[in-house]
């Protein structure tokens, strides 16, 4: 019983790590400054709905 649980958990965590590595959305970091604090927005380029890359990944 314990062996099955360990196998299931190891499969779950290995699959979730692979899913994190694959990203269809390319990121380009944009930095804004609010009240002296720098805020990074890695996906600001996805706000442009007329960009060909954005159109390709949203279909």
pLDDT tens digits, one per residue of 11-45: 666 655 555 566 667 888 999 999 999 999 988 98
pTM, two decimal places? 0.48
Residue reference for tokens 């604090």: 37
The 10 Å CB-count burial string (b at 16+, else e) for 2-34 is eeeeeeeeeeeeeeeeeeeeeeeeeeeeeeeee
The residue ranking higher by pLDDT, 32 or 9, is: 32
Residues 6+ apart with CB under 8 A from 7: none
Q: What confidence score (pLDDT) does residue 17 get? A: 55
Q: What confidence score (pLDDT) does residue 41 get? A: 92
């Amino acid at each position: 019983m314990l062996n099955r649980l360990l196998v299931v958990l190891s499969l779950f965590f290995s699959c979730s790590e692979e899913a994190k590595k694959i990203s269809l959305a390319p990121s380009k970091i944009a930095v804004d400054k609010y009240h002296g604090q720098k805020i990074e927005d890695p996906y600001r380029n996805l706000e442009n709905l007329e960009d060909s890359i954005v159109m390709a990944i949203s279909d």
